[in-house]
Amino acid sequence: MRLQSSLGTIWRLGIKELWSLWRDPVMLVLIAFSFTVSVYTAATAVPETLHHVAIAIVDEDHSPLSQQITAAFYPPQFIPPAMIGHEEVDPSMDIGRYSFVLNIPPNFQRDVLSGGAAEIQINVDATRMSQAFTGNGNIQRIVLDEIETFLRGRNPSMAPPVDLVLRARFNPALEKSWFGGLMEIINQITMLSLILTGAALIREREHGTIEHLLVMPVTPAQIMLSKVWSMSLVVLAAAALSLNGIVRGLLQVPIEGSLPLFFTGATLHLFAMTAMGIWLATLARNMPQFGMLMILILLPLQMLSGSTTPRESMPRFVQDLMLAAPTTHFVELGQAILYRGAGFEVVWPSFAALLVIGSIMFHLSLRRFRSTIGSMA
């Protein structure tokens, strides 16, 4: 009976939190933006991705090989190449008309067939640094592949003895939008879990409603649990809508694994992060201070968790240290489930780690919350 009464109190306090959030238009706009526009732009606006890049070709050879190379540049990576003269190269690149200009010299095919020193020039607009780096490598690969294909057609004996076949698993077309969209949802779950719970506590302190709670027959644990379940529910609902509407629907990204399994892991992650959000809110006196504290915590959690760069490329000390962060295990299980279709038998260590970390974070936050309420009473 006592447990049922306690659960009822937690339920009613959580409903109060949901009504408070509903009356906060700024937070509602933030939630909508984070799981729609932010997810879509993270998936499509990757700066190093080649998409309809302007390229021009100076063909001074006019041979079958040069025509074959020209035909190899097509959408969606490149727009159809513009054929220009040698005298147009510098003026057109000075005004930014083309990102790349490929110069095929006279007698290029003859030099290739004779085994002589065949040279080809790539002019790159390096002010577009990320795109220039990626495009330079792609153009070199395209040109070399076309030359090899041309030589095989002329002389099959020139084919190399080993044929290297590339097999890209889980993302056959190497679509970067598949990675960007899903990782952004994982990052937004982490960010909003901190913001919503911390803002809920600070909002009560600023509006004076925390004093009302102190005179009611409720415990600090009930207050914390009400904020945890209500804000977690909002984040999970928004993430589910974004995953199905934006990622699956608009971006056409296939989801390999079990969504219920992923959201179970997300629930454990939210348990840890919402507790952390309450802990930060007890340290801050107002929302600006909370925002500064959150940036100091959130950026390292996201940058070092493996969501932007592989953990294997980080120093060993950083890898070991980040095992104490819930984001590391959430990114691992998210990538395993959503990308590779992993089952519980693969991701259970991450689930266990999140449960342990979440329990510790909740205990520490509850102690801090109790001391803060005690000083206000």
* Cis, peptide link before residue 47, omega less than 30° from 0: no
- Residue 138 makes CB contacts below 8 A (sequence gap 6+) with 50, 77
Positions in the chain short of pLDDT 50: none
**Range 55-158 has CATH code 3.30.420.40:** no
pLDDT of residue 284: 85
Q: Do the bridges between strand 100-104 and strand 55-59 make them parallel or antiparallel, or are there none, so unpaired?
A: parallel
Give the pLDDT confidence score for residue 376 in this predicted structure. 53
Residue 364 tokens, joined = 């520490």
pLDDT attached to residue 223 = 85
What's the pTM value of the predicted model, to 2 decimals? 0.77
Measured between alpha carbons, how far is residue 115 from residues 108, 118, 119, 182 in Å? 11, 8, 11, 48
- pLDDT at site 164: 56
pLDDT at 328: 93
Q: Angle at Cα 60 formed by Cα 54 and Cα 64, nearest 5°?
A: 90
Q: Where in the chain is the domain with CATH 3.40.1710.10?
A: 55-158
With beta carbons less than 8 A apart as the criterion, state whether 269 and 326 touch.
yes
Q: For the chain, how are helix, strand and coil distributed in percent, rounded to 5?
A: 70, 5, 25
> How far apart (Å, rounded) are the C-alpha atoms in residues 103 and 72?
15
pLDDT at 264: 94
Per-residue pLDDT tens digits for 308-355:
777 877 888 988 999 999 999 999 999 889 888 888 999 999 999 999
**Cα–Cα nearest to 250, from 6, 35, 21, 5:** 35
pLDDT of residue 363: 93
86 neighbors 132 (Cβ within 8 angstroms): no
Question: What sign for the dihedral angle of Cα 95, 98, 100, 101?
Answer: negative
The pLDDT assigned to 156 comes to 66
Closest CA to 134 of 70, 71, 47: 47
Identify residue 286 by its one-letter amino acid code.
N
* β-sheet bridge partners, residue 58: 103
